[in-house]
Structure 1
Amino acid sequence: MTSCPAGHQSVSTDYCDTCGCPMRVVHQSATAAAPPTAPTTCSAPQAVTCPHCKTSNHAADFFCKHCGYDFTTGSLPTTLPQAENTPAAPSPVSVAQPPGACEAASEPTLPSPTAPQPPSAPGQLTPQSPWPSPPDPEPTTHARRPAFRPPNTQPAPRRSDWVAEVWVDPAWFALQEGEGVAPSPGPPTIVPLRNTTAMIGRTSASRGIHPEIDCGVDTAVSRSHARLTTDGRRWWLEDLDSANGTFVGDATSTPPQSPIPTGQKIEIDADDRVWLGAWTRIVVRPATSTE
């Protein structure tokens, strides 16, 4: 090992390993050594710029302290210094899979929306739904509306202002001197007179005769015997060509002997009575509040 002119120990014989100063070559003869020369003062080391990364380095450096550029050979190192300290990432380990596993993994299986859930065992917790259930509807306090009912289109029965009393008159039956026995007298039959006309007679279904004042079983009364008409305040009686005639008289006198003319309207008073057939007597009067 030799020393540079500055006194540094250096392995290299051309330049000092420490300061880069040129080394002095000492030639010694076999017989005598060369006279010593005066020591030479070494100049200060100079800076060297790396041609690769432009980093400033000492003139005595063999490599760039930043990128490792070799100033002697003029080449870069095969591996950068930064990469030397970085650990290599481990390679992924491949796991052997059975055939068809890749196809099954590429198509995710969606749960069927209609698939029934198995019943939970006793004591097993039921999984909670991620969505909150809607609140229960509040009980309504409104009263239920009644069902609609259409109005009654049928008119109410009109109150009758007049009625006809149909009696069994034994005195009239005795005056006729007819055969058979008259029915027992009793309370009269009250017939409301709601129309302006009312026919007196006996019902005949075969002939279509339905009188308003039906004299029942008195066979001496014709089917269409007589007719009553009114203007609302007064009443008139007309014989309809009956077989036995129609008789009119007041309540104080005895029954008349002659019938009224056929086809003529005869006004009847409030106290008049109408006789016809074998025992029938009819009285027309205003209706009471209960009739």
Structure 2
Amino acid sequence: MATCPKGHDSATLDYCEVCGARIGGAPAAAPAAPPAAAPAETPAAGDAGTPCPVCGTPKTGRFCEEDGYDFLLAPPVTAQSTAESSAPAVSSAAASGSGPAAPSAAASAAGPASATASGAASAPWQVVVRADAAYFEVVKEMGGEDAGSLAMPRFVAERRFDLTGQQIVIGRRSRSRGVNPDIDLVGPPEDPGVSHVHALLVPQEGGWAVVDMESSNGTYLNDPRSNPIDPNVPVALKDGDIVYLGAWTALTVHTV
């Protein structure tokens, strides 16, 4: 028979059969308290839904889904970072710093096409369309099955066109073919030697170029007695150059 520290008689020698206290040793240690739960992480820049200071996208995690802004570190926002938020979002690797950032779409697009457009726009160009009697005589001298029936019109009004956009189509309107050229030479008076889609004026670095579109009677640059320019090949134009086509049409290009 044993006596526990609390004075109970117990037939068991290790623990009291009455209260369970340890017999013959130090009092048992109190059961360990359960581990306290780790305190929840306090967002550094407000609760979920807080707008990103760069782009305004509601917060759903540490990083902004649009521009990669770190809500935990809350770096200061500059005018440059605000402007960059309008560019396409970087990849998650770039946002976290684990990989190189891909070039922005705006940077990728800044190639020859942008330079061409800016070059042509830096000095506005214009084309003057008129009837040229000297060129008409050259056409008649060159002959052809229809040369004998050609007649120079008594009056053709001079017209001016500003060169803008990606291309200027020169030709003759045709409803049946759906052709509506920017410079329409259908008349009156109509130049019969002009194809429906005869030529193009296209912008290039620093100016414009002319392209013959496989016209029936060809396109000539400055000298109508020379060979026509090659079809489908852009030929650069200078200020004051004259493009001849059809039976009497001359187009003079110049800067304004």
Return the TM-score normalized by structure 2.
Answer: 0.45
Q: Which has the higher helix share?
A: 2
Instruction: Identify which of structures 1 and 2 has the higher relative contact order when contacts are C-alpha pairs closer than 8 Å and 6+ apart.
Output: 2
Return the TM-score normalized by structure 1.
Answer: 0.40
Larger Rg: 1
